[in-house]
Amino acid sequence: MNKRAIVCVDDENIILDSLGEQIENMFGGEFIYEYAENAEEGMEVLEELTNDNISVVVIVSDWLMPGKKGDEFLINVHKKFPKIVKIMLTGQADDSAIKNAEKYAGLYAHITKPWTKEQLESVIRSGLSQIEEI
């Protein structure tokens, strides 16, 4: 079976830890889980996983990060890895940033902070079902 990964990107460690713990509890050993604290590190993780023949199936990215905002990051991700399900997690993104990501990054969904475990699981499972149909 092909190895698959879920990647989370957020500059706040407490958010990244919480997000990772919830996702790992949802899916257990079904996926490899990787984390990055900014867009640059996130892209490095995606490239390393791809080079190791691991398919990244979902990326959950914060919007407000130092250096590069989440919509810009997801647009770059989409250019290199168009099949990844892209989810933006935000407490502060404005509508134009979300529309930008929908239009240019193929944004699957956005979740507002604070999120619920059920909301997160529903969005990720729904996104996964979309790629499994292709």
Residue 35 phi/psi, 5-degree rounding, is -135, 145
pTM over 0.75: yes
pLDDT digits (tens, 9 = 90+) for 12-62: 999 999 999 999 999 999 999 999 999 999 999 999 999 999 999 999 999
Q: Indicate the DSSP class of residue 126.
A: H
Report whether pLDDT(132) > 70. Answer: no
Cβ contact 66:72 at 8 Å: no
According to the model, what pLDDT value does residue 108 have? 97
pLDDT at 6: 98
pLDDT tens digits along 81-126? 999 999 999 888 788 999 999 999 999 999 999 999 999 999 999 9
Domains of the chain and CATH, by start: 4-128 (3.40.50.2300)
Residues 31, 128: Cα–Cα separation, whole Å? 12
Sheet strand arrangement including 85-90: 32-36, 4-9, 55-62, 85-90, 107-112
What torsion, rounded to 10 degrees, do the Cα atoms 55, 78, 24, 52 define? 30
Tell me, what's the pLDDT at 85? 97
Residues pairing with 35 in the sheet: 8
Q: With contact defined as beta carbons under 8 Å apart, do 73 and 38 qualify? A: no
Asked if the model's pLDDT at residue 134 lies above 50, the reply is no
